[in-house]
Amino acid sequence: MRKMTKLLSLLLALCMVFSLAACGGSSAEQKEDTAPETQPETEPEAEPEAEPEAEEPEAEPEAEAEPEISEAAQNYPDGPITWYMQGPGSAADTIGRILGDALAKELNCTCLYENLPGAGGMNELNPVFDAEPDATKIAILAVPYLTITPLTNSSCRYTMDDFEMIHCIFEQPQCLVVPADAPYDTFEEWYAYVEENPGTFRFAVPGLSSVHTFALEHLKLETGLDYSCVVYDGAAEMNAALLGGHVEGLVLGFSEFSAHFYTGEFKIICYTTNFKNPDYPDYPTLEELGYEARGIPFQGLCIKAGADPDVVAKLNAAIDKILADESVIEQLKAADSWVDGTCYGGEEFAQTVKNAYDYYDELLVSTGLIDELSS
């Protein structure tokens, strides 16, 4: 019985072992059957390119603040501006009134005019010299006022350094002019007449120390001709003297006698400057005739030195604007008082005056005219 029990126990144990083995195999097969299928490899999708960042707009530069100007310039002019000029009928008088009227509108002020011819320009410049340096006194400066008069007139109280140059406003040719019925038409014929009639020919000139007189005196030294110069107070008196037969000739800027030239009362013998009126190129210059004598013509504006720089800048800017105004230019052209390219500003004009001074200083001494013209 015990043996039978042992045998049954052994058989039961073997059955359990086989059962476990069968379960294990079935479990492994199940694992193999349920393994996930391998998916085909795919390329990774490309990441979209990043859009370029929008550039930030450049910041606009801040507007520069208006430069501060002095109180004097802000209030300029705080009264009338007075213009000092040569006599009525002169280029300076014509130009001064045209520019002065335009300046009055530009600066919203009053402009006054005083004609003070004679004394080699001292009559014009002395009021400016004696004035306060506030740019309310303007002189229309001709060449000799600061280049010949200080060298030849002992009563002259000023030098170039006492004035500030503002603007060159006009350069024009000067001419040797005679009545239309004079018995000579060319320089050679005039030369022969004066040579045959020594001491009888008289020239009207606007001042003893004028460039007109200097050119004639220099020509006299070069030719040996015998003629004289008679001083008048400005172009109007000179023209009247020639019309009335009180003189035989005159030397003036073209615009100062042109009215009588156009009417046929006067005729031109030659230019005393080294350049011509482009509308009348057939008349010769003294240089073309072989002479060194010449006139240096310019008209310009000056004030008393020492004015506030901002005031000077304001005045210069106003003059620049006026001289670019077509209506002003037309007025000047109508008066034969405009030549393209002869208007320029302070520093360049100051150099022009200095060059003229050096020229006359050397020539007055080298020709001996310094002794003849000195007073």
The predicted-structure confidence for 8-66, as pLDDT tens digits, reads as follows 454 444 445 444 444 444 444 444 444 444 444 444 454 555 555 555 556 555 655 55
In the chain, the largest separation of any two C-alpha atoms, in whole Å, equals 194
Distance CA 138, CA 77 (A): 12
204 with 129, same domain: the answer is no
Which range of 30-39, 207-216, 293-302 scores highest in mean pLDDT? It is 293-302
244 with 109, same domain: the answer is no
Closest of 203, 291, 293, 287 to residue 241, by C-alpha: 203
Structural domain of residue 366, as residue ranges?
73-171+298-373
221 belongs to a structural domain = yes
Phi, psi values for residue 203, rounded to 5°: -105, 135
Placement of tokens 């156009």 in the chain: 262
- Structural domains in the chain (count): 2
Q: Are 259 and 89 in contact (CB under 8 A)?
A: no
The predicted-structure confidence for 133-160, as pLDDT tens digits, reads as follows 999 999 998 878 888 888 888 899 999 9
305 with 219, same domain: the answer is no
Residue 114 bridge partners (DSSP): 84
Which of 256, 271, 286 is the C-terminal boundary of a domain?
Answer: 271
179 with 258, same domain: the answer is yes
Looking at the whole model, is its pTM more than 0.85?
no
CATH number of the domain at 183, please.
3.40.190.10
C-alpha to C-alpha distances, 167 to 281, 318, 338, 340, nearest whole angstrom = 28, 11, 14, 14
The predicted-structure confidence for 90-136, as pLDDT tens digits, reads as follows 888 999 999 999 999 999 999 999 999 878 788 999 999 999 999 99
The mean predicted confidence, pLDDT, of the chain is 84
107 belongs to a structural domain = yes
25 belongs to a structural domain = no
Is it the case that residue 326 has pLDDT exceeding 90? yes
167 with 178, same domain: the answer is no
126 with 203, same domain: the answer is no
